[in-house]
């Protein structure tokens, strides 16, 4: 606030005080001994001068308030303590994007189905002093709209590109968990110039719409008709997390169930069907990725086994593979380890 002393605010304060003084009777010429003309010329003169002064004072006050607002806005830069919610218009409606952290590089992350941006809470705590994060809620999840219609990963990639455009990012580190990894890979294939590096966390490289698994069909059906039932949500949690993961993180456990209970089943299930039943395999296209890629897998992920993840990572021209303990959502199970892997990966790519 000390900078206000040398800004237009100080001038506004000074001029405002002068005008306030001009509105007092003592500041006007002493005409008490003059007879009031019948045509009330004096009355009109005094009223006109007061009216003009009031208008001038309103203008100065307006400038003063705007200057304070501008200065306060400029000092309230994004920080870990002040995340900012934004909504970006995409094919499915409004996409919620949380802007948090600060640093020279921006990391844009898209979460898994059945989750929202909160899966990255602990990761952000680890790294938000070094990086700015844009955390997305996928269509039909969290605070984002969902149309209730199925879509393609190409549409999601376009939405991700729209987020980059919305925040003025020509290039960024992009990535995500499971669904988010598919989206990041798709954008890296279609618009490689927008991608600085890629984080593929627990990504199902072999999902194939031509050969959907029976378990995927069952999960998609449950997302539509059983989402409000704790039995179904607990089943999803059992597939996603090890036994101790949610028990040791009661805050996220509560968020996980609360988000799913509040989500519109039609919109969320459309997203689940789009990912599990409509995706094209990313594995056979990995060799075309030109950006550096970090692949992270859960050592106990029964849905997407660690060996298959390692084999897929070996197809990357500039790939690096790592596994951590736990199942399908490594950023919730082992956030500190994932954060260290990301930090080492990005530091090595920056220095090379």
- Summarised one tens digit per residue, pLDDT across range 260-269 is 999 999 999 9
pLDDT digits (tens, 9 = 90+) for 196-226: 999 999 999 999 998 888 999 999 999 999 9
From its phi and psi, is residue 196 left (phi > 0), alpha (psi between -120 and 50) or beta? alpha
pLDDT value, residue 64: 45
Q: Where are the domains of the chain?
A: 2-75, 84-351
Task: Give DSSP secondary structure letters for 21-61.
Answer: HHTSGGGS---TTSPPPTT-HHHHHHHHHHHHHHHHHHHHH
The domain defined by 84-351 carries CATH number 3.40.50.1820: yes
CA-CA-CA-CA torsion sign (331, 337, 343, 348) = negative
Give the other-Cβ count within 10 Å of 121's Cβ. 17
pLDDT value, residue 352: 62
pLDDT value, residue 53: 53
8 Å CB contact between 103 and 350:
no
pTM: 0.78
8 Å CB contact between 268 and 146:
yes
Q: Phi and psi at residue 259, in whole multiples of 5°?
A: -65, -45
pLDDT value, residue 82: 83
DSSP summary character for residue 106: E
8 Å CB contact between 149 and 174:
no
Q: Is 82 exposed, middle or buried (0-12, 13-18, 19+ CB in 10 A)?
A: exposed
Under-50 pLDDT residues of the chain: 1-44, 46-47, 51, 54-55, 59, 63-81
């Amino acid at each position: 606030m000390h900078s206000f002393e040398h800004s237009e605010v100080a001038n506004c304060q000074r001029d405002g005080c002068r005008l306030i003084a001009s509105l007092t009777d003592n500041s006007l010429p002493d005409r008490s001994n003059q007879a009031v003309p019948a045509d009330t010329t004096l009355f009109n003169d005094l009223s006109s001068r007061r009216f003009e002064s009031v208008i001038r004072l309103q203008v100065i006050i307006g400038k003063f308030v705007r200057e304070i607002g501008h200065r306060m806005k400029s000092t309230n830069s994004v920080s870990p303590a002040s995340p900012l919610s934004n909504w970006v218009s995409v094919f499915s409606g409004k996409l919620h994007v949380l802007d948090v952290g600060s640093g020279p590089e921006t990391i844009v992350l898209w979460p898994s189905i059945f989750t929202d941006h909160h899966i990255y809470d602990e990761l952000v705590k680890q790294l938000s002093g070094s990086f700015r994060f844009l955390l997305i809620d996928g269509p039909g999840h969290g605070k984002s709209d969902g149309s209730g219609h199925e879509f393609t990963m190409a549409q999601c990639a376009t939405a991700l590109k729209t987020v980059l455009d919305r925040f003025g990012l020509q290039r960024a580190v992009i990535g995500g968990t499971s669904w988010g990894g598919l989206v990041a890979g798709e954008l890296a294939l279609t618009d490689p110039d927008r991608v600085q590096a890629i984080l593929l966390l627990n990504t199902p490289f072999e999902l194939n719409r031509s050969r959907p698994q029976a378990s995927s069909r069952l999960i998609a059906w449950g997302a539509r008709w059983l989402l409000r039932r704790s039995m179904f949500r607990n089943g999803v949690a059992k597939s996603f997390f090890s036994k101790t993961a949610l028990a040791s993180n009661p805050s996220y456990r509560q968020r996980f169930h609360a988000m799913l209970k509040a989500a519109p089943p039609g919109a969320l299930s459309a997203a689940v069907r789009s990912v599990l039943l409509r995706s094209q395999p990313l594995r056979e296209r990995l060799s075309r990725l030109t950006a550096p890629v970090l692949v992270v897998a859960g050592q106990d992920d029964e849905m997407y086994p660690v060996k298959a993840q390692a084999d897929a990572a070996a197809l990357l021209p500039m790939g690096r593979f790592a596994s951590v303990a736990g199942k399908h959502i490594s950023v919730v199970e082992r956030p500190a380890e994932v954060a260290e892997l990301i930090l080492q990966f990005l530091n090595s790519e920056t220095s090379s």
